[in-house]
Every structure is written in structure tokens, then in C-alpha cells.
Amino acid sequence: MPLAREAVELLVQAARAWYFEGNQHGLRDREWMALRFLGRANRFSRTPSALAGFIGATRATASQIVKTLESKSLLVRKPSHEDKRSVVLHVTAQGDKCLNQHDPINHVLNAVTALGTDECIRLRDSLREILNHLDAAHQRLDASICRDCMFLAERGPGTGKGRGTAEFMCRLYRAPISLEETELLCTSFERTRDRPKIEQHLDRGRVASQG
């Protein structure tokens, strides 16, 4: 069997962990996907429309999923600090606990962590490269983190107001971004090849903290 086909077929088998019939611990696979995304998304992407885009659903379907997660006290809506007419979705402490204990991808996460840091970084980079190829073939990369985004800029000392310790600036939202926020998912991400703006050695800390 060609090596590439064998690898892709293994990926398809791995995907059974997060695409399934029925529910696990009371949530269907799309509800898990939504909760997982909202637990990792930055403040610009925790909106009903960004959620709909990420999970590939209509606004009506995403809204129904939000209602289901709210009814289980896993999610709350709060007015946006940036735009009072908008709402931002927040995963509750109970939602975080649910993700930590029962997220169907946790077994895969543990298995990938067990590969070790170097293998983990290689796997991450290979998967990103594959997604970049798919992106070039007109399939969107749904979300990624600031460090590879063309809108991220370093912030000069003493510039801007609020979030005074923020090290970076998002040129799209014209908003300060802290180092921690650069690791959150954003659906407005636009890929750049001009990386890294953030030291690569941070990868090792990130892999270690996911264990």
C-alpha cells in the first residue's frame, strides 16, 4: 500500500474518536466540537457567527448548539467589552471540567503527548503543512493561532491603552494581544509564511503544559 494512503487511512481511523453517532457524556460530536472550540478561542472568535463558521453549520444550528450547552450550564453569554451590541460566549468552570474529564479527544491527546516533545512538534508541523496544501486547494483553514497570522505585529514599549502588558498588536482588530492570547484560536486568522514572531522554543513549553 502506498505510504501516503496508509497514513491518510490511519488519520481517518483516528477521526472516529471525535466523529461518532449518538452522544458521549450527554453531548453529540458537534456539541463537543463547539465546546472544545469555545474553550480554546480568543475573545474575537467566541461569537455565535464565528462558532457557526468553525463547525461548518448554519447560524440557526450553531444557535441551537449554544442553547443546548447553556441548558447544561457549560456555557454562558456575556455582552462584549468591545461592542456592547454583541455577545461573547464563555465556557463555564463546569464546561472546563467537562472538557478536562470527558472530551472524546482526550485519549488521542494523551497518545500524542506520549510521543514526546520532538515527535509532537513534527506531527503538528506535518498536519499544518497538510492543511496549508488543502487551503491552497480552496479549502479554508478554519482557525489557527496568532503566531502564524499576517495581522500580528510586535508592540512598541508604552504604546496603546489598556492591557498595558500586552506584547503584540492585532492589526485587523486594532487591539492589543498578550503573549498568552497568541496561543488561542482565531477564526479571522490569515496565514503568513513570515514566522516566527514568537520564539520557537515556546513550543516546548506548550507541549509540556498539554500533558
Catalog residues that contact ligand SF4 under the rule CB under 6 A. 42, 44, 146, 149, 151-152, 170, 172-173, 177, 186, 188-189
Which lies closer to ligand SF4 via its Cβ, residue 69 or residue 184? 184
**Taking the complex as a whole, how short is the minimal distance between the CB of residue 159 and ligand SF4, in angstroms?**
16
Which lies closer to ligand SF4 via its Cβ, residue 104 or residue 176? 176
- Which residues, other chains included, contact 31 with Cβ-Cβ below 8 Å and sequence gap of 6+? 23, 65, 68, 69
Whole-angstrom distance, CA of residue 152 vs CA of residue 174: 10
Rounded to the nearest 10 degrees, how much is the dihedral formed by the CA atoms of 172, 178, 179, 182?
-40
Task: Please name every residue paired with 168 in a beta bridge, in sequence order, or none if there are none.
Answer: 154, 177
**Taking the complex as a whole, how short is the minimal distance between the CB of residue 179 and ligand SF4, in angstroms?**
12
Which lies closer to ligand SF4 via its Cβ, residue 91 or residue 186? 186
Phi, psi of 191 (to 5 degrees): -65, 140
Which lies closer to ligand SF4 via its Cβ, residue 51 or residue 149? 149
Quick one: cell of 207? 507541549
3-state SS class at 179: coil
**Taking the complex as a whole, how short is the minimal distance between the CB of residue 166 and ligand SF4, in angstroms?**
12
**Taking the complex as a whole, how short is the minimal distance between the CB of residue 35 and ligand SF4, in angstroms?**
21
